[in-house]
Amino acid sequence: MYAAVDSWFVDRDESKEEIRKSLSLIENVSFESYVNGLEAMYEWSGEKYLKMIKTPTLVIWGDSDKSYQWDKQPYELWTKIENCSLSVVSNSAHNVHLEKPQQFNLILSDFINSVTE
């Protein structure tokens, strides 16, 4: 569980506080629950539902994400959701919103503005 959380960040030194906060979230999770969650996610696929999504969608992906490989999820979401935008954020991993908060907020604000105009 700790290794998983640690992999969510590119720079451990720069992200110490975010890692600490993330680790505090798992303190009340049993290892059995963690494994069950991983097994459930491994077996489940929502690919057949992607074509049903008609709402403008934004995928924000960190180019160093170790949780989801490019061709397994971000690319699939981007290409299979009809009205999907993609933003790849360099030098970030699974928690783009924590590693690059200003960039994340700009990307999200731009997307929201583009769909509400």
**What is the value of pTM for the model shown?**
0.78
Domains of the chain: 2-116 (3.40.50.1820)
Q: 45-56 as b/e, with b when 16 or more CB fall inside 10 Å? A: eeeeebeeeeee
Q: Name the amino acid, one letter, at 50.
A: L
**Segment 75-106, tens digit of pLDDT:** 999 999 999 999 999 999 999 999 999 999 99
**Segment 47-75, tens digit of pLDDT:** 999 999 999 999 999 999 988 888 878 99
Q: Given pLDDT bands bounded at 50, 70 and 90, which one contains residue 1?
A: low
Q: CA–CA separation, 94 vs 117, rounded Å?
A: 30
Q: CA–CA separation, 54 vs 37, rounded Å?
A: 28
Q: Closest by alpha carbon to 49, among 75, 86, 81, 85?
A: 81
